[in-house]
Structure 1
């Protein structure tokens, strides 16, 4: 989950947005952004998808073998 949290936090900061501003633009609650950036694992897939859409990304399966090779 840390890859997701790092990705969202870095992209949000690149846009120069606070967590509050980003949550509003993404149409999710502030707690959703905080949970994602803290690496929590009890996240709603639909909310994560909404957040990722802000960066032109989608939620999808990644082959674990491919992930460890790219690390």
Structure 2
């Protein structure tokens, strides 16, 4: 979750938005943004994807072989 936390925090700051502004724009509660940026692990996947969709990303499952192959490229 730390990679996601850093990704969201960095991208939000690049947009020049506060957590409050970003939460409103993403359509989630402020606590969702705070939990994501703090690297909390007990988050709703749908809420995380709602936030990540602001940057054109989603979390999804992939086969382990595919993950290894993509990391080698």
Give me the TM-score of the superposition, normalised by structure 2.
0.84
Q: TM-score, normalised by structure 1?
A: 0.86
Q: What runs of 5+ residues in structure 2 fail to find an aligned partner?
A: none
Uncovered stretches (5+) of structure 1, i.e. residues with no partner? none
Runs of 4+ in structure 1 off by over 2 angstroms are 61-66
The aligned length equals: 68
Q: CA RMSD in A?
A: 1.7
Structure whose alpha-carbon radius of gyration is higher:
2
* 1:18-48 Cα distance to aligned partner (Å, 9 max, x none): 0000000000000000000000001000100
